[in-house]
Chain A
């Protein structure tokens, strides 16, 4: 009987951890997908002009001007800010009515900024070879129109720390 109970307990533990791991992966994937979808359709000069850093990007939305044949910025914008103290990534969206909608994604665990190597500064990079070999350079961003999004999510389940890291490179489409 005790063997049965032990089997049940272990099964339940593994099941719980497995579920949490799947959830964690799904959350990270969804978040990266969301960020890349936003960033991909930004306009590089506008992104560059809004103080891009490893822990912050902002860009205005735009509409196609049918008479001037060019992109025209609107007051709408998307802003991502990461705070590694609270392990929170915020997405701020100002819509066409002027409402600012804020969404917070918690459990984003990126390393503390390294003042010497400037590695581990946030979730945005222009070069990412490994968690310790990376950097963000806004000039590279402007020249290459390429940004690398790295999300490391962490969650504690039954005294076990689970983490999942997803890296995705995005080519910014609009010059």
Chain B
């Protein structure tokens, strides 16, 4: 009986010891697994934060905003964007860059483990613009200009209260070319214009497209005797003989002979590029006022903005 009892006790002891050993192994395995999982979660959290930083596009950029959590796999990222400032850079007379800098804090979280990256992202916008300084005169012609009647040409610096033709604001026998002035060839501008083919426009010629386009008129053989008003860039391919009424703010460019009678009122500039030796004639009650602001506003039509995808220029892990 005693021997049986001893064997039983010994057996129980063995089972107890083995149980303790097994528990110890199990505990270590669980602990190891926990450490490994935490390491994996931490690595995933870093890559999620990295995603939050790298997938920032131009639409996501803002002066100050926090994104909603973006779920990816078993975790998510949240990013906080704050605008830092802007840097402008003039490349040449027609090109400039504006670079805006944003601070982005992107936090990736997986199973409660978070890592945060502090980055700086820049968004560059390249602008091609035509300077208003390319158009310093109210009237500019490649041939002689003949002023008649009560025509007036003046500008911002004209001091006379009743000027006729201020020599500062017209230039005859001038050498200029369309591409030099506009930064585009005639066919490029024609390609981006609203076209009037062998017909004169009438009424309001301000282009209503978004963005607005230049107006390109392939001139009919008849003279213009209608009534036109508006603003922008008006290009006439062919001779322009005005006998009607034009009230226009901006730039009128004539690729041909120019004859202005009637009652044209131009606030900006008018140019005539004529290969013929016929004089440019300004007569009647033509009133031409060189206006830099009107020219600048018109040239905005030709401004081209190219937005580049944001670039990460600084990277630091902060948590």
Chain A contact residues, CB within 8 Å of chain B: 1, 4, 7-8, 11, 15, 18-19, 22, 26, 29, 33, 37, 40-41, 64, 66-67, 69, 71, 173-175
Q: Is the interface of A mostly helix, strand, loop or mixed?
A: helix
Q: In the assembly, what is the distance between CA of A162 and CA of B158, in Å?
A: 94
B residues less than 8 Å from A66 (CB atoms): 84-85
B4 within 8 A of A: no
Q: What are 30 pairs between A and B in contact, CB < 8 Å?
A: A4-B13, A4-B14, A4-B17, A7-B14, A7-B17, A7-B18, A8-B17, A8-B21, A11-B17, A15-B21, A15-B24, A15-B28, A18-B25, A22-B31, A22-B32, A22-B35, A26-B35, A33-B42, A37-B317, A41-B317, A64-B120, A64-B314, A66-B85, A69-B85, A69-B99, A69-B101, A69-B122, A173-B315, A174-B314, A175-B313
Chain B contact residues, CB within 8 Å of chain A: 10, 13-14, 17-18, 21, 24-25, 28, 31-32, 35, 39, 42, 84-85, 87, 99, 101, 103, 120, 122, 312-317
Closest 3 CB pairs of A and B: A173-B315, A11-B21, A41-B316
Q: In the assembly, what is the distance between CA of A135 and CA of B292, in Å?
A: 65
B84–A69 contact, CB under 8 A? Answer: yes
Query: From residue B117, how far is it (CB to closest CB) to chain A in Å?
Result: 9
Q: In the assembly, what is the distance between CA of A1 and CA of B10, in Å?
A: 8
Query: From residue A41, how far is it (CB to closest CB) to chain B in Å?
Result: 5
B residues less than 8 Å from A8 (CB atoms): 17, 21
A22–B315 contact, CB under 8 A? Answer: no
B314–A71 contact, CB under 8 A? Answer: yes
B residues less than 8 Å from A173 (CB atoms): 312, 315
Name the CB-closest residue of A to B21: A11
Name the CB-closest residue of A to B100: A69
A19–B28 contact, CB under 8 A? Answer: yes
Q: In the assembly, what is the distance between CA of A56 and CA of B317, in Å?
A: 22
B residues less than 8 Å from A11 (CB atoms): 17, 21
Name the CB-closest residue of A to B103: A64
B21–A18 contact, CB under 8 A? Answer: no
A residues less than 8 Å from B316 (CB atoms): 41
A residues less than 8 Å from B84 (CB atoms): 66, 69
Query: From residue B162, how far is it (CB to closest CB) to chain A in Å?
Result: 52
Q: In the assembly, what is the distance between CA of A67 and CA of B87, in Å?
A: 9
A residues less than 8 Å from B315 (CB atoms): 40-41, 173-174
Q: Which of B14, B31, B103, B314 has the most CB of A within 10 A?
A: B314
A residues less than 8 Å from B25 (CB atoms): 15, 18
Query: From residue A81, how far is it (CB to closest CB) to chain B in Å?
Result: 23
Query: From residue B171, how far is it (CB to closest CB) to chain A in Å?
Result: 43
Name the CB-closest residue of B to A1: B10
Q: In the assembly, what is the distance between CA of A33 and CA of B38, in Å?
A: 13
- Using known A-B contacts A4-B13, A7-B17, A41-B317, determine if residue A18 contacts B28 with beta carbons closer than 8 Å: yes
